[in-house]
Every structure is written in structure tokens, then in C-alpha cells.
Amino acid sequence: MCARRAVSRPRFVGYYGPLGDQTVTEDAPAGSDFLARVCVEWEREAARASDRTRVVYVRTGLVLEKDGGALPQMLPPFKFGAGGPVGSGRQYWPWIHREDWLGLVRWAITTPSVTGPVNVTAPNPVTNAEFARALGRALHRPAFMPAPAFALRLLLGEMADALLLSGQRAVPAKATQSGFTFKYSRLDDALHAIFSRQV
């Protein structure tokens, strides 16, 4: 493997575990829940390449695009007028538009000074309730029907808490401090761009 190239492997901001409304940068320690432990193991494996190349840990938030990722799975309830927050809605959902995700990962690979963890998220994370309202606005649909936490736990078990009912207010401190420019730093702008395009 060429020593001048970065190893950039997708991880998740779930690395930090559930932290309420505490702002989280790349300096924060790992959490202790299941998803955090999985992320720690992934990064430990990637670190084995650090004696041969520069290693970057991509800790990604929710990547938004109409044709992939989690967003298409969120749309059916909203299209039927039954969308809304998940659980309490107070948990933070760090997000990023796919164009910015690609740009940030490209920046991490081509910038020799970047090493270690990089939060690949937009600079303005939102709560799940704010996300639901923004998605409703983008689709011109209501967003007031919550998905109850107990139902999600029945459906997904312990993964409901790790994936949906808890969150991280993760921000891309390394990228912003290094002058990376986001095309979509606000959720409303990102969703408008996604849903204003013709399929």
C-alpha cells in the first residue's frame, strides 16, 4: 500500500455512544454501548495499517440522498401524511448531504495533514424532531405522528436504541477548522436540493 495515500474507511458517529445534547468533536472518547464497541473494533483493525500509511477514520452521520441510504426508507409514512419524530424526538441526528460526504472524504484522502478520526457530518446537527419537521416541509406533508419508542424496541430490539432512539450531536471540527467548505450546511437546504430535482 502506498505510504502517501490515506486509508479512509467508513465508520459511524455511533462511536461516541448516546450523549444527549452534548456537542461531540473528534476528540471525544468512545462510548460503551454495542454500536460504540463495534466502531472501536473497526478502528482498531484499521489502525494496524498505520505503520505503512496515513490512516483516517471516517465517522459518518446520516447520509442524505433520494436514491440510497436511510432517507428512502423514511419517506413512506410522510408521503401518507403519517410522518413524525422517532421516540421522544429529542435525540440528535447528525446528517450530511451525499455531495458533501463525497467532498469531505475526498478532502480527507488528498490532504496529507489529515489523520485519525474525522466526523463526516454537516456542521449543524439537528434533533430528530427538527429532522422530521424539515422532511415534512421538503415533502409538503405534515410531520406530527411520532413513532413510539416501545414499538421500535419490539421491532428492532436493543438496536432500536443504538440506531434510532439515541443520538450524537457530532460536529465536523477537523474539517471546519481546516477550512473545508460545505455546500449544504443547513438541513432545509439539503432536503430542498434533494427533493426539488426531477427523478
How many CB atoms within 10 Å of residue 32?
A: 10
199 confidence band (pLDDT: 50, 70, 90): very low
> What pLDDT sits at residue 78?
83
Instruction: Note whether 62 and 94 are within 8 A (CB).
Output: yes
Average pLDDT in the chain: 84
Average pLDDT over residues 130-146: 87
> What pLDDT sits at residue 139?
92
In 3-state terms, what secondary structure has residue 105?
Answer: helix
6-192 is classed in which CATH architecture?
3-Layer(aba) Sandwich (3.40)
Beta strands in the chain (DSSP E): 6-12, 23-24, 54-60, 62-64, 92-93, 95-97, 116-120, 126-127, 169-170
> What pLDDT sits at residue 77?
80
Higher pLDDT, 136 or 154: 136
Which amino acid would we find at residue 89? G
Q: What are the φ and ψ backbone dihedral angles of 120, each rounded to 5 degrees? A: -100, 80
> What pLDDT sits at residue 22?
93
Report the alpha-carbon distance of residue 2 to residue 91 in Å, rounded.
41
**pLDDT > 70 in the chain, percent:** 82
pLDDT tens-digit profile of 34-70?
888 989 999 999 999 999 999 999 999 889 999 987 7
> What pLDDT sits at residue 159?
52
Domain boundaries, the chain: 6-192
Instruction: Note whether 109 and 8 are within 8 A (CB).
Output: yes
Report the alpha-carbon distance of residue 1 to residue 64 in Å, rounded.
31
DSSP codes joined into one string, 5-51: SEEEEEEEGGGG---TT-EE-TTSPP--SHHHHHHHHHHHHHHTTTT
Cβ-proximal residues to 106 (8 Å cutoff; 6+ apart), any chain: none
> What pLDDT sits at residue 70?
78
Higher pLDDT, 114 or 157: 114
Query: Is residue 182 over pLDDT 80?
Result: yes
In 3-state terms, what secondary structure has residue 106?
Answer: helix
Q: What are the φ and ψ backbone dihedral angles of 65, each rounded to 5 degrees? A: -165, 150
pLDDT tens-digit profile of 66-122?
998 778 878 888 888 877 787 788 889 899 999 999 999 999 999 999 999 999 999
